[in-house]
């Protein structure tokens, strides 16, 4: 059925198709029995896939990455699609329109997407109003935060602190996004000293809010795939030393090596999808070898199947996220991956998903 729906959606401009999808999910959310129907079709539960991290129970390891539900508008409906968790955002302190259109491109031949959205969102306050009932989502909700485009890097920490001040009371975990290629100079914040300053400011705000009675949340860092080995090690080491609770590896890539010859390859922006699967899995492995079990890793990049997810888990990811796979595979992707993961666990003699984490990286 989704192949028919996909043909219809792929006949539209990609951003229009995304907006239509969000509107449809809103209708489902507001229709009595709508989420129950979705859950009956796409839901999937099995104790062998349940994972507890940071004191949070994830019903399965397959989440939806940030970028789909930018304004935290449809996470309830998304929870009914069988995901183990959903990450909303990226959210900035002030609303901003993002980069000029067109800014989203499909590369179907490569099962890939190029985007240069530029953190288009309604701002932290609007998102906070949508997140008031986040505890009723039945799965963990993450909040991905970033800086406004017009904020210079030497003031960037202030933007993240503003987001924390507004959004920290909501959601189950927070992600510091300094790895998008679509906000000018954002990735410069991965430089070690800038990163340490930023993380100290964010952690300080979290502590202040906790002293006022806000529940403590794990704070994760999302990293880019386009760093040299030494820089990645420095970033990860700095993050661990500053008390980050987890690493998300990785964001989109600026590399076009895997899509050379495609007429859209020259479009500026971050490349996601199948071409990123090897690179992101390699980074998961290297980061796991650097931090071991001390800091959990969420693996993201090019996941379309249970085998893709399983390779990241065996490389060291405790959880995984999809995005481009949802666009090409449809709303059944989480159920499909989870069923395949169970078969792979049985094949390898594992009785729980935790047993597979990092076995190829040790």
Distance CA 182, CA 49 (A): 34
- Tell which phi-psi region holds residue 299, choosing left (phi > 0), alpha (psi between -120 and 50) or beta: beta
Q: Which of 128, 179, 180, 272 is catalytic?
A: 180
Angle between helices 156-167 and 192-211 (to 10 degrees): 30
What is the reported pTM? 0.97
Residues 6+ apart with CB under 8 A from 299: 249, 280, 281, 284, 309, 312, 313, 315, 316, 317, 319, 320, 321
pLDDT at position 279 is 95
Six-digit token string for 180 = 């998008």
Could you read off the pLDDT of 9-55 as tens digits, one per residue? Answer: 999 999 999 999 999 999 999 999 999 999 999 999 999 999 999 99
Which of the four pLDDT bands, split at 50, 70 and 90, describes residue 331? very high
pLDDT at position 308 is 98
Which of the four pLDDT bands, split at 50, 70 and 90, describes residue 4? confident
Could you read off the pLDDT of 81-116 as tens digits, one per residue? Answer: 999 999 999 999 999 999 999 999 999 999 999 999
Is residue 180 annotated as part of the catalytic site, yes or no?
A: yes
Q: Average pLDDT in the 269-286 region?
A: 96
Could you read off the pLDDT of 223-242 as tens digits, one per residue? Answer: 999 998 999 999 999 999 99
pLDDT at position 293 is 83
Enumerate domains of the chain plus CATH numbers. Answer: 2-356 (3.20.20.70)
Q: Are 223 and 236 in contact (CB under 8 A)?
A: yes
Kind of pairing between the strands at 219-223 and 51-53: unpaired
Could you read off the pLDDT of 192-228 as tens digits, one per residue? Answer: 899 999 999 999 999 999 999 999 999 999 999 999 8
């Amino acid at each position: 059925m989704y192949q028919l729906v996909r043909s219809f959606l792929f006949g539209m401009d990609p951003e229009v198709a995304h907006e239509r999808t969000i509107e449809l999910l809103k209708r489902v959310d507001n229709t009595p029995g709508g989420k129950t129907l979705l859950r009956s079709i796409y839901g999937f539960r099995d104790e062998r896939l349940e994972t507890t991290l940071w004191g949070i129970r994830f019903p399965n390891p397959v989440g939806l990455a940030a970028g789909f539900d930018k304004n935290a508008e449809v996470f309830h409906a998304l929870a009914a699609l069988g995901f183990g968790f959903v990450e909303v955002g990226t959210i900035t302190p002030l609303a901003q329109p993002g980069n000029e259109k067109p800014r989203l491109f499909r590369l179907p031949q490569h099962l890939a997407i190029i985007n240069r959205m530029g953190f288009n969102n309604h701002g932290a306050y609007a998102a906070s109003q949508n997140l008031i009932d986040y505890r009723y989502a039945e799965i963990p909700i993450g909040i991905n935060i970033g800086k406004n485009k017009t904020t210079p890097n030497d003031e960037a920490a202030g933007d993240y602190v503003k987001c924390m001040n507004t959004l920290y009371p909501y959601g189950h975990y927070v992600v510091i996004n300094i790895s998008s290629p679509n906000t000018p100079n954002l990735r410069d914040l991965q430089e070690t000293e800038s990163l340490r300053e930023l993380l100290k400011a964010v952690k300080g705000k979290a502590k202040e809010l906790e002293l006022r009675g806000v529940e403590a949340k794990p704070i994760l860092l999302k990293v880019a795939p386009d760093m040299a080995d030494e820089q990645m090690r420095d970033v990860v080491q700095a993050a661990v030393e500053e008390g980050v609770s987890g690493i998300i590896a990785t964001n989109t890539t600026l590399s076009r090596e895997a899509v050379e010859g495609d007429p859209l390859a020259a479009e500026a922006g971050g490349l996601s999808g199948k071409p990123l699967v090897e690179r992101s899995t390699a980074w998961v492995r290297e980061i796991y070898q650097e931090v071991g079990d001390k800091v959990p890793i969420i693996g993201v990049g090019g996941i379309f199947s249970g085998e893709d997810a399983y390779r990241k888990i065996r490389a060291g990811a405790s959880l995984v996220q999809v995005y481009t796979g949802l666009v090409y595979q449809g709303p059944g992707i989480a159920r499909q991956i989870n069923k395949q993961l169970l078969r792979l666990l049985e094949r390898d003699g594992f009785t729980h998903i935790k047993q597979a984490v990092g076995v190829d990286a040790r």
